[in-house]
């Protein structure tokens, strides 16, 4: 019996994360030295994000239906769901609190002395208008599509979640008929992931276009007065990932640093496209590669896109207090508590809305009239830079949440997790099932 031949190592230029890194660097250079060309490259980034978003609804549908219909004990779905929501709420609250604590400690807005009357309210008017769509009741109603098909054509994650969960529960008790339906979903899942593997090869072009447009449109010099806020937000997110998520990961039996190394391809794609949606399919595949059960991954990770946006939560409270400091608005303890409580609801209610973080911030300012809502005009120019950090933190947070719930449920292969984490740069994710 002959030993299996080792897989040939790819040349460095054929590795996806190397290609994305090069593309990001080229995009920055093009945007800086040829801004008009950088802006003209925007369609590359838009096209890649559009292609991935096109596949999100079928991915969520196939994976969640498989997860629910494939469980022998339907009660288990409810147990996983309750544990997931408990985890999401606990960590989301921590993220919101950290945003407040850092804003109070560092005072990123102090010294700007902005007169709200001098700001152009039209700059943020579109976001203020969309903020009316957020809130707890609109959030719940947003789960219900007008038709079954609209859930897929509209691309709204909450609606796809609802249709997928109902379909999974409907198939589960159908016996042999349900088994045949489940096999059809499994075949569809293979096709969907095959399409995604084709699309993901264009990620370097998407990253190049996204970064070239960002730098070409906003530059660096015009952002000098807001650099402190950008730096504070990135620092706060790093602290949250390293210490909060790092402690949770340690409890679950893995290193947050090795976890991030394992996800380097996906994180670079997020950085280049400023969207966490672009890596949803690959993240689910990679989490299974770490030993998490398919059913838990299918239920927890997509749900996190609605209920567990750690990066967005940090951004909400940090930015709200920044605007208060920048405009000289004094906030009492009760008002800061009100921001925290409203943000807990609004951060869910803004899910699925384009420009979620900015729209939700507008909703918070509308609910806390002490902070001038026209202060949003200060943040329009740096929204692109802030959204990159939000997306990165959200992806890492949801990845950790999936592994933690899987361990909590007793469905995490610890031996496989240790093996992969020992060599995160050498082991690739398994092929999609």
Instruction: For 406-415, write each residue's pLDDT tens digit.
Output: 998 888 888 8
The strand pairing partners of 292, in sequence order, are 412
C-alpha distance from residue 379 to each of 127, 182, 251 (Å): 11, 47, 37
Phi, psi angle pair for 96, to nearest 5°: -65, -45
Residues of the chain with pLDDT under 50: 1-7, 123, 126-127, 131, 222, 349-354, 426-433
**Model-level pTM?**
0.71
- Give the model's pLDDT for residue 1: 43
C-alpha distance from residue 433 to each of 60, 184, 221, 299, 301 (Å): 14, 13, 48, 16, 17
Q: Quick one: angle between helices 264-273 and 383-408, nearest 10?
A: 150
- Give the model's pLDDT for residue 157: 67
Residues with Cβ within 8 Å of residue 145, at least 6 apart in sequence: 151, 154, 156, 159, 162, 163
- Give the model's pLDDT for residue 2: 46
- Give the model's pLDDT for residue 403: 93
Token pair for 384: 């692109």
- Give the model's pLDDT for residue 428: 46
End-to-end CA distance of the chain: 28
d(CA 379, CA 318): 12
Instruction: Please choose, from the candidates 390, 204, 190, the residue with its C-alpha nearest in 3D space to the C-alpha of residue 285.
Output: 190
d(CA 375, CA 358): 12
- Give the model's pLDDT for residue 222: 47
Instruction: Please choose, from the candidates 126, 125, 111, 114, the residue with its C-alpha nearest in 3D space to the C-alpha of residue 378.
Output: 114
Q: Taking the domain 14-422, which CATH number applies?
A: 1.10.3860.10
CA angle (54, 400, 53) in 5-degree steps? 5
Query: What is the DSSP code string of 251-304?
Result: HHTS-HHHHHHHTHHHHHHHHHHT-SGGGHHHHHHHHHHTTB-HHHHHHHHHHH
C-alpha distance from residue 199 to each of 205, 286, 388 (Å): 11, 17, 21
d(CA 26, CA 183): 45
d(CA 221, CA 20): 26
* 301: number of Cβ within 10 Å: 27
In three-state secondary structure terms, 412 is: strand
The strand pairing partners of 412, in sequence order, are 292
Q: What is the pLDDT of residues 131-148, one digit of tens each?
A: 455 555 665 676 788 888
d(CA 29, CA 49): 22
């Amino acid at each position: 019996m002959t030993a299996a031949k080792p897989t040939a190592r790819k040349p460095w230029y054929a590795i996806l994360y190397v290609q994305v890194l090069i593309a990001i660097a080229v995009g920055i250079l093009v945007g800086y030295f040829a801004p008009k060309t950088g802006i003209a490259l925007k369609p590359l980034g838009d096209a890649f994000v559009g292609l991935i978003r096109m596949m999100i609804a079928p991915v969520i549908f196939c994976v969640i239906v498989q997860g629910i219909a494939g469980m022998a004990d339907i009660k288990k779905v409810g147990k996983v769901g309750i544990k997931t929501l408990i985890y999401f709420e606990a960590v989301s609250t921590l993220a919101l609190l950290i945003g407040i604590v850092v804003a109070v400690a560092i005072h990123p807005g102090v010294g700007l002395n902005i007169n709200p009357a001098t700001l152009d309210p039209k700059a943020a008017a579109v976001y203020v208008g969309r903020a009316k769509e957020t809130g707890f009741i609109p959030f719940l109603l947003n789960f219900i599509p007008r038709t079954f098909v609209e859930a897929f054509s509209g691309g709204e994650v909450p609606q796809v979640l609802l249709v997928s969960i109902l379909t999974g529960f409907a198939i589960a008790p159908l016996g042999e008929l349900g088994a045949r339906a489940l096999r059809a979903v499994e075949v569809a899942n293979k096709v969907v992931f095959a399409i995604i593997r084709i699309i993901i090869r264009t990620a370097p072009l998407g990253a190049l276009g996204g970064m070239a447009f960002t730098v070409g449109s906003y530059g660096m010099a015009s952002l000098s007065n807001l650099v402190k806020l950008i730096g504070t937000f990135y620092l706060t997110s790093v602290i949250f990932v390293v210490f909060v998520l790092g402690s949770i990961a340690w409890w679950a039996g893995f290193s947050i640093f090795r976890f991030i190394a394992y996800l380097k391809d996906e994180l670079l794609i997020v950085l280049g496209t400023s969207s966490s949606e672009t890596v949803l399919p690959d993240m689910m595949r990679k989490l299974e590669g770490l030993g998490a059960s398919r059913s838990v991954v299918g239920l927890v990770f997509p749900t996190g896109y609605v209920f567990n946006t750690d990066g967005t939560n940090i951004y909400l409270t940090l930015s709200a207090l920044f605007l208060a400091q920048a405009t000289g608005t004094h906030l009492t303890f009760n008002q800061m508590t009100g921001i925290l409580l409203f943000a807990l609801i609004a951060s869910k209610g803004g899910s699925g809305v384009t420009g979620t973080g900015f729209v939700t911030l507008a909703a918070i300012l509308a609910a806390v009239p002490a902070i001038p809502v026209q202060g949003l005009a200060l943040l329009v120019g740096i929204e692109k830079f802030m959204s990159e950090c939000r997306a990165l933190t959200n992806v890492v947070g949801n990845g950790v949440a999936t592994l933690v719930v899987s361990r909590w449920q007793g469905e995490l292969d610890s031996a496989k997790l240790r093996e992969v984490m020992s060599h995160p740069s050498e082991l690739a994710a398994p092929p999609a099932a």
